[in-house]
Structure 1
Amino acid sequence: MEGEAAYGFIVNVDAQGSGLLSDTEKPDMRRRLYDVTGTAFEQAGIRPPRLYQEDRGDGILGVLAPDVPPVRVLGEWVEHLHQNLRESNRHLRKPLRLRVGLHIGRVTADLHGRSGRAVDLACRLADCGVAKAILKAADGAPLVVAASDRVHEDFIVPGGRWVDPEHYRRHDVELKEGRTTAWFMVPGRSQPPEPPEERGPDAADGPDGRQGPPRGDPPRTPAPKDAGSGVVQNINQHGTGRIVVGGTIDTINFSDGGDR
């Protein structure tokens, strides 16, 4: 019912590098995007009305009904999507490469589409810097999957058909809402490649397209060198007692405290 939140598994698909395509190239990209994802849902036995899809221009938002086992998406759908992409990209000069964000949670439906914090997170994961960097570093790979920490704990760790938790690698990512943990997988590889250090959501590229200086502790300023090799010990003595100093002292200056 409109306006009421329902529990659902969220699949957000984004095309890598779509902003570099011309107006004449984008219609073909979108056709292939819908073909490979839609065929994968059919192959996994996931169809409307248990599957809702919403166009996102260079991507597709999907929300699955609560009775669809998430492991079917993580296993069968992801594997079919991977193979469909490989077949579709064969001999293409500009292959279609996709980033998939996965999360589960409350989704609200209205006349205009689907919304909710869970939807936002799935979209953010697919669009985050780590997902883009991993796919860029995975030369020749057409797909990267970014799963939320909750999806990983509840559905990936137990495993299942074509679901191997050992193939996922954890990264803490910076999103607009803050820092969160996500798990990344590149189908066909035992582990995704290690991406360069992630930038925050508002970080800007340098003029050569590279990120700015790496985060971390600022460089230390070296301590000034001693003017000489001797050690001078200044001692203000008030009253009586012994003075214990470690090391070798060349000069000792005593003061009795002046007028005190």
Structure 2
Amino acid sequence: MSNGKILEVCLNETDTKQLTNNVLKAGDLGVSRFELCSNLHLGGLTPSKPAIDSAVKSLTNNAQLVVMIRPEAGDFIVSAESHKLMEKQIIMAANAGVHGVVFGAVKHGKLDLEVTHSLVATAKQHGLMVTFHRAFDTLTNPLSALDKLISLGVDRVLTAGTPWQSGQSAVDGYKLLNTYLAHSANQIEIVIGGGVTLENAPTLWQLIKNHSAKAAVHVHSCVHNENGAINAEAINKLLSKD
């Protein structure tokens, strides 16, 4: 049972059998949403079509699948070439039957409005939800960016409330996350992710509860064992009643 909690589990593209098992198992345990990536050691890149197909087929209990759209590692500046490739990858993901896509575009510490607007339009034309990923945590004026993302029709933003690659966790970003939740006033879903553990997750669930917000907690390593398989006990603990 999810107990009203929206838990998003990040999955790395692995062998098809393990990916299928992970989606089936976690979905049966009440996970609301999966984010599928490849190359998580590079911050997450676009997964392959076979991996997307496997994940889509394995969904249970109305769980949703969103996929990373990020063709190359490095910063979040999107070149003209990357932009075209991202458009194609969004359409490929839509045709595979996913529920949403995850991307970000930043230039000089600000939202790349032109690219973001274009990618959002492509996603929406194909009936997809949009998450702006942790490129958000590189921005110099996140509150202004939050307003712009809302106006562009972005559905969610993934953030730790701490600077990208700072090594800090979402609990370290508590104050800023509190500000985002208040500022967004449920106009956009705040997905809290980055260093979430079984120990600090209750603090984040309570923060969401304080705002009566439609917000989610995003996890990866704390719900996988050393072999990359889903740990049922960990998911049960995260979704247990407070």
Instruction: Give the structure-1-normalised TM-score.
Output: 0.27
More strand by percentage: 1
**Structure of larger gyration radius:** 1
Structure with the higher helix share, 1 or 2? 2
TM-score under structure 2 length normalisation: 0.28
